[in-house]
Structure 1
Amino acid sequence: MVDRGKGDGPPPNGMFDYDAELRRYQRRLREAVDVRADDLVLDIGCGTGQATREAAGLATRGSALGVDTSPVMVARARTLAAAEDLRNVRFEQADAQVHPFPPEHFTLGISRFGTMFFTDPVEAFTNIGRTLRPGARLVQLVWQDRNHQEWATAIQRALGPAPATAVDPFSLADPAAVDRVLTAAGFTDVHITDVREPVYYGPDPDTAVDAVRTLRMAGDPLTRLDADEAAQALDRLRTVMAEHTTTDGVWFDSRTWLIAARRQGSAAPEAGRFRR
């Protein structure tokens, strides 16, 4: 049974359901950010806005803004927010690396796997830091190294490696490098915690195969194959999904970093705001 928030439903055809996949991590992020009633929240790489909407629901005297570069996901986020009748949330199609956010506005920055794709991480986190108030928290989840992601290695074994692209979902996998980037961007009190949860791909192998085919990591390798090779590859993928099927659906192991930091400034941290 997939946990969904009020107003959620199956995504439009052709859109991968990241909210279902990452439902265990959403819980971990929610616990870590500890949204307060007066918070002004910025959700970076918000996707279809699940974390943004949850933050808005908790920030009853504040608000939440979700930004993402995908117009399709932003449109979906707006639809879901309207269905939930949330009045203190909004979404913008924007690149957080360069978007002109209002200076020193937000009291909390969050991201669920939305910060790994910056072309210049120092520039991006510097820009994000400018819009956070002094002492404001930035809490994010990022993937650890590919070798720690059963979902990635299993799919690659079935379909073959995807062509190299400029987009690297594992670009923040090195904790030492992350610490250097955030420090250079004006953050302090960097804490990095190992978090391990399974990710969900569907209720059964066929549904899981259909879901994965919408992802670039599967679509790109398949386009390089002729019809017979593609059919064989999909059979291998279906076998992989069957091997990972439980009574609660298709699950793969994964590992992430929960990264918490503060924007440098004179504001004193509030006791208990970090959870480690």
Structure 2
Amino acid sequence: MHGNTHAIANTAQAQAWNGYEGAHWATHQDRWNAINSGFDEPLLAAAAIAPGDRVLDIGCGGGATTRLAAHRAGGHGSALGLDLSAPVLERARALADEQAVSNASFVQGDAQVHSFDPGVFSAAISRFGCMFFDDPVAAFANVRSALRPGGTVAFLSAAAPGDNDWLKALGALDGILPMRGFGAPGEPGMFSLAEPGPAIATLTAAGFQDARAERVEAYGTWGRDAGEAARFLLESGPGRHLIAQIAPEDRERALTLLTERLRPYEQPGALRLRSVGLLLTATRTD
């Protein structure tokens, strides 16, 4: 890695992920993995990581997918996790040390402008870490520059807002919460890559070939029961953004209504919700 490893284009996201959002994610890393780990196998299978590969993990968070990729790459391979957030990277490094994953490393940076060594990675992956770029085409082109010819990408983005149980549950609070700020397909935000056609076009414009999109879904555990899951959802980034816009006296009512909305999803000892993702794959052929 060379050049300025802390060059930032996406300043708003950098501020969020080095503030409350990053601290919350780092503190609740186990919970976020319980929510998202059902997507790990489809993601890693699509990346086709082989022993000896060098893997780049974009928006790696607490490093769960980086460590999994490092295991698949084996002792002669490696995985590098890149993220904007210092708090989550601190947690990622600690977990890699605790689990003795010596071929996983982490660096802070913005994938859109990070100065990668060119042509060194066999694959690039991302588990919901590639939806918030200010300029997606520029970001994916920069990632492409880090891949060797024949290198592949496998990126998971949030898809089909209406099919995600957590967002449908929040939708029940419409009228109390201002249900805005999540973005729409093709626009900056969580669902920027939600539609297959525009997402494939973005990868193609970035110089990739054979871009494809596949809808995948998984169930994640959000808490032990509806009350715990509702509190967690309203304390996480999207929920906190909404709650901050309403009067304090309405917040307890929102929590009560969300708890009731989540009751049907309770199972013994766990509340599980379905999430839907778009699995994007493509190749650098030259």
Q: Residues of 1 paired with 2:163 and 2:229: CA distance?
A: 20
Secondary structure of residue in 2 paired with 1:17: helix
Residue in structure 2 matching 1:205, options 202, 221, 226 = 226
Structure 1: tracts of 5 or more residues without a match: 1-9, 266-276
Deviation track 1:186-210 (CA, whole Å, cap 9, x = no partner) reads: 1001121121222321121222123
User: Using a 3 Å threshold, how does the CA distance of structure 1 residues 120 and 37 change in structure 2: closer, same or farther?
Assistant: same
Letter aligned with residue 222 of structure 1: I
8 Å CA contact 1:102–1:131 kept in 2: the answer is yes
Contact 1:65-1:89 within 8 A present in 2 as well: yes
Q: Can you list the C-alpha shifts for 1:230-261, whole angstroms capped at 9, x where unaligned?
A: 11111011112222111251122222111110
How do 1:1-276 and structure 2 match up within 5 A?
13=27, 17-60=31-74, 61-158=76-173, 160-164=177-181, 168-247=189-268, 249-265=270-286
The alpha carbon displacement at 1:126 in A equals 0.4
Partner Cα distance (2:207, 2:154) in 1: 15
Relative to structure 1, the CA distance from residue 103 to residue 13 in structure 2 (aligned partners, 3 Å threshold; closer, same or farther) is closer
Contact 2:200–2:280 at 8 Å: present in 1 too? no
1:75-127 CA-to-partner distances (Å, cap 9, x unmatched) read 11011001011111111111001000100010111111111010001100000
TM-score (normalised: structure 1): 0.86
Structure 1 residue 222: deviation in Å? Answer: 1.6
Aligned residue type for 1:143: A
- 1:252 counterpart SS class: strand
The 10-residue stretch of structure 1 (143-152 or 102-111) with the greater mean CA deviation from structure 2 = 143-152
Structure that is richer in helix per residue: 2
Secondary structure at the counterpart of residue 122 of structure 2? strand
How far apart are residue 11 of structure 1 and its match?
7.1
User: How far apart in 2 are the matches of 1:181 and 1:237?
Assistant: 36
Q: 2: distance between equivalents of 1:228 and 1:15? A: 30
Q: Deviations over 1:165-219 (max 9, x none)?
A: 7851110012111121111111001121121222321121222123213212211
Name the SS for the 2:235 alignment partner: coil
CA separation of 1:35 and 1:54: change in aligned 2, threshold 3 A: same
Structure 1 residues 12 and 253: CA distance shift in structure 2, 3 A: closer
CA distance in 1, matches of 2:202, 2:128: 17
CA change 1:14–1:189 in 2 (3 A) is closer
**What is the aligned length?**
256
8 Å CA contact 1:29–1:140 kept in 2: the answer is yes
The separation in 2 between residues aligned to 1:107 and 1:253, in whole angstroms, is 31
Alpha-carbon distance in 1 for matches of 2:29, 2:123 = 29
1:4 corresponds to which residue? none
One-letter amino acid of the structure 2 residue matched with residue 64 of structure 1: A
Query: Does the 8 Å contact 1:16/1:215 carry over to 2?
Result: no
- Counterpart residue number, 1:272: none
Please tell me the residue identity of whatever aligns with 2:275. S
Of 212-221 and 101-110, the range deviating more from structure 2:
212-221
Q: Which runs of 5+ in 2 are unaligned?
A: 1-23
1:239, 1:56 → 2: CA distance?
41
